């Protein structure tokens, strides 16, 4: 299974991006997404920004990932369904 993680582009120099993943910053290649710029949201897989996405979609994905982590660690926030 492959997983791409959404993050916000916080800097760009040529084809190198710095992408923020909720506080963790990672250098990422932009060769597959040449039109992205600072402030854009991207999906990152294996060190490459593979596509651009809307901020709202990125935040929904982070919420889903947090819920999955909560379930895995046995946290119950009272929300069901």
Q: What is the pLDDT of residues 1-27, one digit of tens each?
A: 678 999 999 999 999 999 999 899 999
Domains, in order of start, for the chain: 5-72 (2.30.30.140)
Of 36, 35, 34, the C-alpha closest to 10 is: 36
The whole model's pTM is what?
A: 0.79
- Other CB atoms within 10 Å distance of the CB of residue 75: 10
Burial of 43 per CB tally in 10 Å (0-12, 13-18, 19+):
buried
Q: What pLDDT, on a 0 to 100 scale, did the predictor assign at position 64?
A: 85
């Amino acid at each position: 299974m492959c997983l791409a993680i959404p993050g916000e582009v916080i800097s760009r120099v040529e084809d190198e991006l710095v992408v923020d993943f909720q506080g963790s910053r990672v250098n990422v290649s932009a060769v597959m997404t040449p039109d992205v710029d600072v402030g854009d949201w991207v999906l990152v897989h294996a060190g490459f920004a593979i596509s651009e996405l809307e901020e709202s979609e990125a935040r929904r994905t982070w919420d889903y990932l947090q819920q999955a982590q909560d379930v895995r660690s046995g946290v119950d926030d009272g929300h069901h369904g």
